[in-house]
Homo-oligomer: A and B are copies of this chain.
Amino acid sequence: MSEPYTPTSRTRLVREPQRAVYDRAVAYEILDEGFICHVGFVVDGQPFVIPTGYGRAGDSLYIHGSAASRMLRNLDQGVAVCVTVTLLDGLVLARSIFNHSMNYRSVMVLGTAVAVEDPAEKLHALRLLSEHILPGRWADSRQPNEKEIKATLVMRLPIEEFSAKVRQGAPIDDEEDYAFPTWAGVIPLELVPGAPISDPKLDSAQEVPGYARNYSRKKRG
């Protein structure tokens, strides 16, 4: 079991506190199943939210900087960020409109992200990111060269201040609404991989590898 975690005033859930989870193990399970995060940062008082890939190494997140140059322009001592990962599990149809909801699992990590400068750590982070998104792919690919490593931005964010929020299961209606004559339940939703599509320029001798044919996030638990 993971150590207990005490939320700060910034990560204590305000709305629907019954859905709050402050257990590190639960948060890490969510972070490990997801692979797209939404990174929030502030420039001149204006918030920006950008989707990007990430990976977890122990109590740190590595965030791919593909879309982060706007953020990194002002980066010297690190930048205040919020990294949010959301897994959508279903639509929850209650009898009343008011009690309609979604099943989901989300994690929000607050903190100061710093750019990874050391080329060895950056390579390590890129490998971790790649293996997080698609285990097995790194070894099959042409490895990054020095110039490419230099051109790639990676940020490191310690997972210190965080909260998770989880809603699962059937709708919960007000007692007097259970007699209302309508269907109620859950429409499950899942991010499902399709059959891999080979690059038209592919040498036909190359077969689809197992990690592409049997891709699944669920197996990673």
Using a CB–CB cutoff of 8 Å, the interface residues on chain A facing chain B are 10, 14-16, 36, 38-43, 45-51, 53, 66-70, 80-84, 86, 88, 90-91, 93-98, 100, 102, 104, 106, 108, 110, 126, 130, 133-134, 137-138, 140-145, 148, 151-152, 165, 170-171, 177-203, 206-209, 212, 215
Contact = CB atoms under 8 A, between A and B. Distances in A.
Given A42-B47, A47-B42, A144-B96, A202 B189 contact: no
A97 B126 contact: yes
Contacts of A41: 47
Given A15-B67, A100-B130, A192-B192, 20 more contacts: A10-B43, A15-B66, A15-B70, A36-B102, A42-B42, A49-B83, A50-B84, A51-B86, A91-B133, A91-B134, A95-B141, A97-B144, A98-B148, A140-B182, A170-B201, A179-B203, A183-B207, A185-B208, A187-B196, A188-B194
Nearest to A98: B148
Q: SS class of chain A's interface: helix, strand, loop or mixed?
A: mixed
A106 B37 CA distance: 13
B100 A141 contact: yes
A39 B102 CA distance: 17
